[in-house]
Structure 1
Amino acid sequence: MRAAARQAATDPDWQADYRRRRPPIARTVSWIVARADRRSRYIGTVKNNAWLHTHAAALNVRTLINLGLTRTDGI
């Protein structure tokens, strides 16, 4: 499995895609960690998973707003 992954990583298309996607993902993880979110807030994996997804969604919305998200549906 690892050997196949290493082989795939030598492909120039894979490397270009990795370079394009890695910075935003690493930045999002660093935003979550930077706000003292290193520890679980709740007891139990279900509650922690729900919190993490909500927190990540909020960060995504904030990013989209900073990038100029506007409403176009007329509501």
Structure 2
Amino acid sequence: LTRNPAGLISALKKIAQNEKPMQKFNHAVAAMCIDNPTEHHGSFFNHLFDTHPPIEERIAALEKIASVQQT
């Protein structure tokens, strides 16, 4: 997955800190983004057809990988 899970965790945390959704964005390219740039903290139905887990779940998985690599 990555040789540096701590670096990826740091990058994902920075992305998650962005609280301002983009106002002008072509929705056709939203699937190419790491996080949906048009919304944050949406309802369950907004995330029903997401192709990737939420950033918080990705960070948790990477933290598990990082702890295994350290041992």
Provide TM-score, normalisation by structure 2. 0.35
Question: Larger Cα Rg: Structure 1 or Structure 2?
Answer: 1
Kindly indicate which of the two structures has a greater share of residues assigned to helix: 1
